[in-house]
Amino acid sequence: MPSGLSVLALLAGVVTPTIARNVVIPRQEAQSSSSSSDATIPFSALSSALASLGPAVTTFRSNSSSSSSTADPSATFTSTTASSTSEVSGRSSSTTRSDATASTTTAGKGPQSDCSTTTDLGWIPSGLPTPTLLPTTNANAINATRTGPLGNHNGGVDLGSDYSSQALDKFWDDWVSELGTSVTKYHRKKVGDVQQPPFREVYCPPQPYPLPEDPPALFPDYLMTSPPENVLTQYKFPDGFLFGWATAAQQWEGAVRDDGKGPTVWDWAARFPGFIVDNTTSDIARLAALGGNVYSFSAFWTRVLPWGSAESPVNQAGIDFYRNLAEYCWSQGVEPVLTLFHWDTPLALQLKYGGFASEDIIDDYVNYAETMFTAYNGTIKKWVTFNEPVVFCSQSTFPGNLTSLYYPYTCSYHLTLAHAKAVRRFRELNIQGEIAFKSDNFIGVPWREGNEDDQRGVDRHEAYQIGIFAEPIYNSGDWPQIIKDDLPPEILPRFTDEQKELIKGTADFFAIDGYRVGYVTAPPAGFEACIANTSDPLWPVCNQVNFYESTPYAWGLADFADPRVPWLQNTWRYIRGFLKDLTQRYPTNGGIYLSEFGFAEPEENEQAYKYIVTTDTKRELYFLSYLGEVLKAIHEDGTDVRGTFAWSLVDK
């Protein structure tokens, strides 16, 4: 049960009226190595930073400089002020295009000389938001992705080997269509009107980056058991601890059809014009100002290889874009972490051979990975091959002749081999740094303590949700025994001995996206009946997840976030045991990272009053309790946690 005392102690960190106003958390200088000796972030500073976090995006009011200044949209980033940034532009200039050219054709450049011209910082302007319901998923669109050209064909669409910009334009026009219209329009409707970003230049954020004023206290002093400076004071994050935020390319990059980028399956399935708030790279400066020292982002495969395949040309503008982003991060004292694949399969490869349904994806992925390794050797020091492969393989579009019975396992097989081969190349090429993939989900808690069926349910949950990739990569080179016992080789292709050797040991650290937890019990039909019945809705995992205890009181397992995102819970009671269990199951020398975690304030979107939106109580409580438990995992359990990445830095 939760201890009221510790909750209140943590709460004290949230509601303190004593936080210094406009606190700026001192941050590290740009480091050439990730193992810095002065990266300790005191928990009280963390409390202050986090207490500012929610309101930070909504209540900033200092806008005095904006009315008098005029931002120059033609400004470029060729001049620099700090020595660290000179070094950055020095390295940038070794690319094939000149800085001046680059600045007129890509967003996300390094800092410009005169930072005083920055105006609007991107906080929500004053005034009440108009309450609107969140858009719900368009049923037509979902059906169309299943029954449209991608859902029905078995690959075999030959786009030829004309890789000219005219051919790329034609590819976009022929295959990327509008969302939200009738199903029939999905079939090769010519649109050609992919939204362009509303700007081409990026303004420089102010330094030091201003943080918002503190919110007023939410609770009276007598509800606090100790002042915030006394909360968990004995614990500091260790040297080199990575504390920051994460995003995926599809979430924020504005260049949908720009800079020579090719379409991905996401461009095809849904129109997603991205944006960067207020034309600045402030998001990274804001991250740094809040005390973050790491930023994790994904790259679009098609921004670097518009056609995806190994024989197709590299798009230099894409290579330059991610280099600029990474170098700008370093210039802010923020380490960039790059994920190669966050589910954005190149559309050309989906059409050609069905994406991850085909073994052809392996060499094409490895070629893409090698292109990136070589381009950012020494600039990126932490790499992620695949984001949440279980989710990707169970949800992505599959060719018509691979039903949902086969596709997830065909995909898992090819994806594991692609990961392993890419990591082998990484090591052969002596790329400087570490590499792994990101797992998700949870191990689970037996619904009834000591009950064998429930424990079996937990073991099955772990095997299918985490072990399916972690077991081969961290331990044996082979699928978990539980899954091999369930699924014949026609469904789950088996690895050869040679492949097992290839796969085993291809990760330097463990990364888990830790959002939720559930109690697990046997399926209603029983294990054996469910495992034998591919029509059972719980097949093949064959267990049942409950979110409440088995006692008559049926207490919930964790506090839930907004009901529209049921996969988010405040799992502070679970996280320590979870981290410890994972490090025992999948040992590495590189420690464990919480590569994503986060929470959504319930009904935030429906609130009509700004003060309700900015109060953000549950989210603040989430960050403090969850991160407080992570500190305890490090100091009381000896778990080798090396970093936390809040999801996400921007809206999704």
Ligand X SMILES: *[C@@H]1O[C@H](CO)[C@@H](O)[C@H](O)[C@H]1NC(C)=O
529 binds ligand X (CB under 6 A): yes
Query: What does DSSP assign to residue 324?
Result: H
x/- binding map, residues 17-56, to ligand X, per CB under 6 A? Answer: ----------------------------------------
Contacts to ligand X from residues 120-149, by CB under 6 A: 120, 123, 125-126, 139-140, 143
CA atoms within 13 A on the CB side of 240: 12
Binds ligand X (CB under 6 A): choice among 156, 524, 526, 556:
156
Contacts to ligand X from residues 414-453, by CB under 6 A: 429-432
Question: Where does 315-474 show beta strands of DSSP type E?
Answer: 335-341, 382-387, 434-440, 445-446
User: Contact 577/557 with Cβ under 8 angstroms?
Assistant: no
587 binds ligand X (CB under 6 A): no
For residue 595, the SS3 value is strand
Cα–Cα distances in angstroms (integers) from residue 457 to residues 10, 454, 462, 487, in the given order: 34, 5, 9, 17
Other CB atoms closer than 10 Å to residue 367's CB: what's the count?
19
- Interface region with ligand X, contact rule CB under 6 A, candidates 439-447, 512-520, 532-540, 572-580: 532-540
CA atoms within 13 A on the CB side of 651: 13
488 binds ligand X (CB under 6 A): no
Binds ligand X (CB under 6 A): choice among 79, 533, 607, 648:
533
* 606 assigned to active site: no
How far apart are CB 402 and ligand X at their closest, in Å? Answer: 5
How far apart are CB 262 and ligand X at their closest, in Å? Answer: 22
x/- binding map, residues 375-414, to ligand X, per CB under 6 A? Answer: --xx--------------------x-xx------------
How far apart are CB 155 and ligand X at their closest, in Å? Answer: 5
Which of 26/524 has CB closer to ligand X?
A: 524
| Token duo for residue 442 | 């949870």
Binds ligand X (CB under 6 A): choice among 55, 155, 262, 477:
155
Which of 372/557 has CB closer to ligand X?
A: 372
182 binds ligand X (CB under 6 A): no
113 binds ligand X (CB under 6 A): no
How far apart are CB 163 and ligand X at their closest, in Å? Answer: 23
Other CB atoms closer than 10 Å to residue 163's CB: what's the count?
19
- Interface region with ligand X, contact rule CB under 6 A, candidates 59-67, 108-116, 213-221, 284-292: 59-67
| Token duo for residue 439 | 């797992």
Alpha-carbon gap, residue 40 to 148, rounded angstroms: 52
Alpha-carbon gap, residue 628 to 236, rounded angstroms: 10
| Token duo for residue 612 | 């309700």
x/- binding map, residues 194-213, to ligand X, per CB under 6 A? Answer: ----xx--------------
535 binds ligand X (CB under 6 A): yes
- The residues near 508 (Cβ < 8 Å, ≥ 6 apart) are 434, 435, 436, 588, 589, 590
User: Contact 409/541 with Cβ under 8 angstroms?
Assistant: no
Binds ligand X (CB under 6 A): choice among 73, 90, 180, 556:
73
- Interface region with ligand X, contact rule CB under 6 A, candidates 63-71, 418-426, 446-454, 625-633: 63-71
Q: What is the DSSP string of 518-552?
A: -EEE--TT-HHHHHT-TTSTTTTT--EEESB-SST
User: Contact 478/496 with Cβ under 8 angstroms?
Assistant: no
Q: Which of 327, 335, 370, 388 is catalytic?
A: 388
The count of chain residues that interact with ligand X, using the rule CB under 6 A, is 33
Nearest to 335 by CA among 291, 284, 287, 293: 293
User: Contact 339/298 with Cβ under 8 angstroms?
Assistant: yes
x/- binding map, residues 253-292, to ligand X, per CB under 6 A? Answer: -------------------------xx-------------
Phi and psi for 65 in degrees, rounded to 5?
Answer: -70, -20
Alpha-carbon gap, residue 422 to 46, rounded angstroms: 37
Binds ligand X (CB under 6 A): choice among 1, 3, 4, 67:
67
How far apart are CB 66 and ligand X at their closest, in Å? Answer: 4
Under the rule (CB under 6 A), what is the footprint of ligand X? Answer: 63, 66-67, 73, 120, 123, 125-126, 139-140, 143, 154-156, 198-199, 278-279, 374, 377-378, 399, 401-402, 429-432, 529, 533, 535-537
Residues annotated as part of the active site: 388
